[in-house]
Amino acid sequence: MAVTLIATPGSSAANSYMAVADVTSWFEGRASENKWTDLTADQKARHAISATRQIDAVLRNQFTPLLNVTYFNYAQALAWPWPNDGFYHSGTANSGGTTTILDTTLYSAGYPDDYFNGGSVLIYQSTDRKAPESEIKDISDFTRDVDNVTATITMEEMDVAPESGDYYVAIIPPPEWLKDAFCEQVWFVATDNKGIVDKAAQGNVSFSDGKKNFNMARYSAWSGLCHETQAILRAWVPAPRIVRT
């Protein structure tokens, strides 16, 4: 039975950081391109889902909350995108259709054209608390209209058009470092090359919450990542966060 890959950023059903088509684009021009294109669509999807699970296990250990990530009480399936780190914009729609949201404050925020392309938009609260509340859709285009001082989000069709006053959150697509880390791990999974796993990744790691120093065994999920993916994540992902209760 073929698997269903869902790569909508922030979705409660997402099981991959990237769509197969985007992974295929990443492989273009690389030495592994022909071997990747020889795989079936289902094989590609399964490898992408497996790689996502492996990276997600590491990200969940590095970030708080560890078991559940939410945007305005909306649970997302994966650890990325994590809230409050500049990966989303929350706003209020001025108007819209089933495939568009217009917002003057989003224009004022200064995001360039195409900034949210490949990301997603979530209606997290509608004025009447009915549809399209909780709908999340992929964004195909983002533009700024200088003449009308308005920004427009173009997305997949929603069941009901957003209205003036509906609250939304626009989420950016995965950053380039995460795409690189992910695709390196996808190829690692696809080739089943377990011989290059870094077992030393299970050593100790030291960090501080600003008040106290900690030393702990590094989460074993790191040892399931290839060298390239580990190197990228270690450069971009900070030490685990400690939350005091």
Which of 171, 190, 218 corresponds to the end of one domain?
A: 171
Number of domains in the chain: 2
Instruction: Please give the pLDDT value at position 92.
Output: 96
Instruction: Please give the pLDDT value at position 66.
Output: 39
Instruction: Please give the pLDDT value at position 196.
Output: 46
Q: Is the same domain home to 36 and 143?
A: no
Q: Which domain holds residue 39?
A: 20-77+175-236
pLDDT tens digits for range 152-185 = 999 999 999 999 999 999 999 999 999 999 999 9
Q: Is the same domain home to 106 and 216?
A: no
Q: Is the same domain home to 46 and 113?
A: no
pLDDT per 10-residue tile (average), the chain, 245 residues: 93 95 96 94 97 91 54 76 75 96 94 95 94 95 93 97 95 93 95 55 51 52 87 78 38
Q: Is the same domain home to 166 and 95?
A: yes
Which of 145, 171, 197 corresponds to the end of one domain?
A: 171
Would 209 be classed as within a structural domain? yes
* Alpha-carbon span 185 to 153, nearest angstrom: 31
Q: Is the same domain home to 155 and 215?
A: no
Would 52 be classed as within a structural domain? yes
Q: Is the same domain home to 105 and 158?
A: yes
Question: 3-state SS of the chain?
Answer: CCCCCCCCCCCCCCCCCCCHHHHHHHHCCCCCHHHHHCCCHHHHHHHHHHHHHHHHHHHHHHCCCCCCEEECCEEECCCCCCCCCCCEEEEECCEEECCEEEEHHHHHCCCCCCCCCCCEEEEEECCCCCCCCCCEEEEEEEEEECCCCEEEEEECCCCCCCCCCCEEEEECCCCHHHHHHHHHHHHHHHHCCHHHCCHHHHCEEEEECCCCEEEEECCHHHHHCCHHHHHHHHHHCCCCCCCCC
Instruction: Please give the pLDDT value at position 158.
Output: 97
Q: Check the CA dihedral 37-42-48-51 and report its sign.
A: negative
**Angle, CA 210 vertex, CA 83 and CA 215 arms, to 5°:** 95
